[in-house]
Structure 1
Amino acid sequence: MFKMKSSPHTHSGKRTAHIMLWVIVAMLPAIAGQIYYFGFGVLIQSCLAICFALLLELIVTILRKKPIYFYIGDFSIVLTALILAVAIPSYSPYWVILIGTFCAVILGKHVYGGLGQNLFNPAMVGYVILLISFPLQMTTWLPPIRLLNEPPTFYDSYSLIFNGFTSDGFSLHQLTSAIDGITQATPLDAVKTHIKSGIEHISQLNSSPIFQSFLSDNIDQISLGLGWAQINILFLVGGLFLLWKKIIHWHIPVALLTTMFTISTIHFFFSDTVPQPLWQLFSGSTMFAAFFIATDPVTASITPRGKLIFGAIVGALICLIRFKGGYPDGTAFAILLANICVPLIDHYTRPIINGHQKREIK
């Protein structure tokens, strides 16, 4: 009997550990941007997630009697924990990131057999479970700290995560209550809420301090979200670095962003209450999803045409959820739904082997 192994079988010459480390390095500028605009919460959440993920990985490898260094040394679990920590609100309670990390490592990865066997992106599995189970904690975001009267220090950030209050006794809600027009929500949340309330034109939101003129001075359109646009640009820079290093391929990011831009443009011309297409590309987790999440080599399509189809599906689902769904962003749901389609996509987009004629795939 031959022992079956997961595809692909051709060795590219790149070690898994090196690939994961390059992806982590590419994320560092955006993480630094998060710290600059939103405080030290993401740093504390990242440390919690990585330490707990490594502990879980160690326990599982011992229980499965696998070589410990081989499984921990590929840094895949570190990347999974880091993606989850970046995705959740920076000042959510410590137990939120611990539960999410457990779900990502155990339910998203090891129940399928470990790295290379999982059908769904582990970090997105953990994120969706948290979003459905703890909607209040997962939608409580701190505005950019430059808008706060008392920006939280590192100790305040630590205290908010573990105790729910700063050293001066302020909660997240109290930190933002003194700012007129600020809610504990992202720009995408603000847009969706105001659209449901029946605003006549999207430019009415420009009075909120969480929006600023960044790439355009056109007052007739909504400005980009302070902090969120800059972080998206930093993820874009990191993604271009990964393309330059040939860690990822261009197919999925290009297909995802092109699809989102096209659908957003069509939607924009038929409504006065939706932001312009460029705003959609630099809001929420768009660039993060395009270059760092959807390009996961295990759960994404592996054929060139399949990658284009996969990226287009993710982009279309993100737009559908943003415009018609109950969630403001929907990136995690879009990627998980697209992951389900990957076996079918790969089946019907298999390239023709040189020397063989095209035949019908049954």
Structure 2
Amino acid sequence: MSNAPRLTALDALHRSLGATMTDFAGWDMPLRYASERDEHNAVRTKAGLFDLSHMGEITVTGPRAADLLDYALVGNIGSVGVGRARYTMICRQDGGIVDDLIVYRLGESEYMVVANAGNAQIVLDALTERSQGFDAEVRDDRDAYALIAVQGPESPGILKSLTDADLDGLKYYAGLPGTVAGVPALIARTGYTGEDGFELFVEPQHAEKLWQALTEAGAPVGLIPCGLSCRDTLRLEAGMPLYGHELTTALTPFDAGLGRVVKFEKTTNDGRFVGREALQAAAEHAETSPPRKLVGLIATGRRVPRAGMAVIAVGGADATVIGEVTSGAPSPTLGKPIAIAYVDTAHAAPGTEGVGVDIRGTHEPYEVVALPFYKRQK
């Protein structure tokens, strides 16, 4: 077993563009090409191009593929139409979140499950184990796809110039097979930036050709290559959770304020799915006495909060710990540091006074706001 990081099909291209590379979940990935702020702003105002080939694709096929996914995941996957996608989660028996996923229904009995890079093997193993007794096959397709995303307000125009697929008819969270720049692709209207955009699943051998075509088509409208660093600040502003930060096995979807993804009304498998009992208890608890809520924090000063820092209530001489920062960064769009944090319900209402973050011993004041920090104008 070698511990060398895995390389995407675009590795040589990233290096030729002068990317700063980083090890991310066992993959060598571009962190940034030039300025993180410029890359972030390009996605918000024009367009950005991302290599997301580290994401884990798992194909589930067979007569009972839908039943298997309804049993293995918390969502109602059987109700997803062909050509549509759904955000969902896979949980443990105790309700803890194993990963958050997007499931694409590619055909009558064919689904593609997209897992986070760091969890792909765990999700694959869990789906394989949970498939016992179902007439369905779980296949590791991580090497079958490269994934390129074009995100930002100019992305529909850029893509239109390279495909005759019906992009106008392609709704958010839908996917259709097509050809982009002569390359066969699954074109999905999904993303992790808070902007309109597309994710293109292609064979690795075609990745470079597609990247170059998108680069050329996007150059006149300001498209630039973007790394993982700005992907993180973009999703943070959009209030989107990141596994390992806002979502962990220690939390249920209800703890994370994402109880809506759990569908107790599923009728397949007699309503059984992994974690059901624990999640029902978590749902009742969340309604009667939610322990902590996920909120946004905006700095009044310049110091940047980081994951793991304590959120405090500053009153009188004492400071009480009332929560913890899960993600924090300078926000290029707001021009101030921001954070997502779990805080005690008593301090979670937007506008709550006297909330701060303990940054290396000093109590920096923060404003509590509802998520997301940023919502694009439709």
TM-score (norm 1): 0.28
**Whose helix proportion is higher, 1 or 2?**
1
**Whose strand proportion is higher, 1 or 2?**
2
TM-score (norm 2): 0.27
